[in-house]
Structure 1
Amino acid sequence: MTSNLVEAQFIKEKSINAQIGYGLSAPYNSVDEVVDDGFFAQGELVLKVKSWIEFRPYAGFILTSSNGEDLNGNPTIEKAETKAFLLGGKVRVRAPIPWVAPYVEIGIGTSIGKFETFTAFDNIDKSGIIYHIPFSFGLELGKNNNVDLGFSYYFQPSIEQFAGAFAVGITFPLNNKK
């Protein structure tokens, strides 16, 4: 009887969410319109508290690199490159609607890797650990809202850039007690 009382009673369901997507990074300040692109992948442990709120510890990575052009195809030396492992936690607030449920999430985390921001205003070349602020929005799709389509951003103030992704995810339920 005691072991049943010890379990966290406020967590209703547990799931794993796996995301993959088109990664991007851009400087905060830029003369040219610069967005560098690459690859993004992330896994999250989904801890559902209520039908409209979830805690989401996450781990992932993003790799972006410059192609030497701005958004208009003009040559530029400005860039915002990120090659980092992402680790942190978020809170997701969602509309508990079957088939199409909009959501927004925010949290705090750390980026571990190599970062380069070169613009007319900044010249930052840093390796190591920095903090980031994740912010995401999107839609959960399907009868059980197990497909995730969204935009994820990781604001990195210490290197004057943000990294992000347009990603698709699938949620797999873990053994949940009813």
Structure 2
Amino acid sequence: MKNIQILLIIILSSNLAEAQFIKEKSINAQIGYGISSPYYSVGEIVDGGLFLQGEYVLRISSWFELKPYAGLILTSSNGKDLNDNPTDEKAESNALLIGGKIRVRAPIRWAAPYVEIGIGASIGKFETFTAFTNINKSGFIYHIPFSFGLELGRNNNVDLGFAYYFQHTVDQYVGALAVGISIPLKN
């Protein structure tokens, strides 16, 4: 418990200090096609919806960034699997996503590949119903974000990537194929 309190104090007080190791700051806004899928199912179940996310990007170097984020995932079942067969199995997620990630990227102009990982929380309503799982939960759960993609453009300000949030508590993952744009902030 003491470690959590120390971490919380560091995070809350970091906004008060002007760290000189941050080279530039920006806002990254993303929108995309959201999905949710159960970990275990008989059929191939993927439910679709909407994904929105905003990130406060703190560039430490040309290859490393810290990224607190807030997002929204809204998915619902259409009663069919990927092969268009009717099914009762589903994995729905309607939640706010918050947390922090680190991004490691290749410092290449025009097309810079990247990978991200972090930790966060999902707050909302989750339903996973399969032959192996029957979970209907509302509230606060943790998730592990993982993303990969490309930063495109002369200044790498367009983001095209896949974002996944593994929600172990409800035996499902949510994700998106998303496109984003970075807006630099003045120092």
Q: How does 1:11-90 map to 2 (within 5 A)?
A: 11-90=22-101
2: distance between equivalents of 1:37 and 1:66? 7
Which position in structure 2 is the counterpart of 1:116?
127
Which of 161, 165, 169 is the matching residue for 2:172?
161
State the number of aligned residues: 171
Tell me which residue corresponds to 1:3. Answer: none
Alpha-carbon distance between aligned partners in 2 of 1:7 and 1:134, rounded to the nearest angstrom = 27
Residues in 1 aligned to 2:30 and 2:103: alpha-carbon distance in whole angstroms: 15
Distance 1:33 1:69 in 2: 9
Matching residue of 1:91: 102
Determine the structure 2 residue equivalent to 1:135. 146
Give, in whole Å, the separation in 2 of the partners of 1:115 and 1:164.
14
Matches of 1:7 and 1:172, distance apart in 2? 20
TM-score by length of 1: 0.95
Shift of 1:140: 0.1
1:103-162 CA distance string (max 9 Å, x none): 000000000000000000000000000000000000000000000000000000000000
Q: In 2, Cα distance between the equivalents of 1:82 and 1:10?
A: 37
Q: Which amino acid aligns with 1:40?
A: F
Amino acid corresponding to residue 53 of structure 2 in structure 1: Q
Equivalent residue letter for 1:42: Q
1:45-77 C-alpha deviation (Å, 9 max, x unpaired): 000000000000000100000000000000000
Alpha-carbon separation, structure 2, partners of 1:96 and 1:143: 12
Counterpart amino acid of residue 164 in structure 1: G
Runs of at least 5 residues in structure 2 that lack an aligned partner in the other structure: 1-16
Q: Distance in 1 between matches of 2:19 and 2:82?
A: 49
- The TM-score normalised by the length of structure 2 is 0.91
SS in 2 for 1:41: strand
1:126 corresponds in structure 2 to 137
CA-atom RMSD in angstroms: 0.6
Letter in 2 for 1:120: A
